[in-house]
Amino acid sequence: MKFTTLLSFALAAATARASTVHCDNKQTLSTAYVGQNSGVRVEHVKCSNPITPTGDTIAVRSVLGKRQENVCGATCNTNCFSGAGGGPDPNDCTVIADALLYDSQNIANVFDMNPAQNTSLIVMTYASCESFIVNQTNDTLQYCRTDWSSLVDYIAPNCQATQNAHGGNCVASDGRWFVQVQHS
């Protein structure tokens, strides 16, 4: 069974060709509602396969000699998915971005994406908007909620039908993680 909300989306490559990411045997390990009004659903998802784009020559990336690394502030490359229509309502995405900011102030700004704890794929959903972050390594990466919020606020309004797009992502310059925004 494929994780349908992750199925068939474009992932940046040097040639800008589309790749498919899939989650076999999707298992939602936990669900919570976050934000000031607890209106944004957060899920930690486990897949039976490594979460990597199809056709990627590196099955799972590894940070040499490091077990945990803070990637807050790391650069990423934004890509809009071609083809107009079907993008999320940017106002719905703003609710996700605001929930991330709220949690950064009330829980902690930095969070772990730890494969050993099954937190390599974190999905946030509100109304028409879904955003997720994926750690594509075997190592723990730490990321900032404020950075994720900024990416959601940037991608949602800039990857819409007016740009001949329907959502998009931002892929880390080294390819170890990415954030995506799409219709839920």
**pLDDT, tens digit (0-9, with 9 covering 90-100), for 142-175:** 999 999 999 999 999 999 988 889 999 999 999 9
- pLDDT for the residue numbered 15: 26
Adjacency order of strands within the sheet including 110-113: 68-70, 140-144, 110-113
pTM of the predicted structure, to 2 decimals: 0.81
Tell me the pLDDT tens digit for each residue of 41-83.
999 998 887 765 333 433 444 444 456 799 999 999 999 988 8
Classified as helix, coil or strand, 8 is coil
Cα–chain center distance at 111 = 13
Report residue 180's pLDDT band, with 50, 70 and 90 as the boundaries.
very high
What is the SS3 assignment for 47? coil
Least confident of 1-5, 52-56, 90-94, 118-122: 1-5
Encoded tokens for 181: 């925004």
Q: 134 CB contacts (<8 Å, ≥6 apart)?
A: 21, 51, 113, 120, 121, 177, 178, 180
pLDDT value at position 163? 86
3-state secondary structure of 5: coil
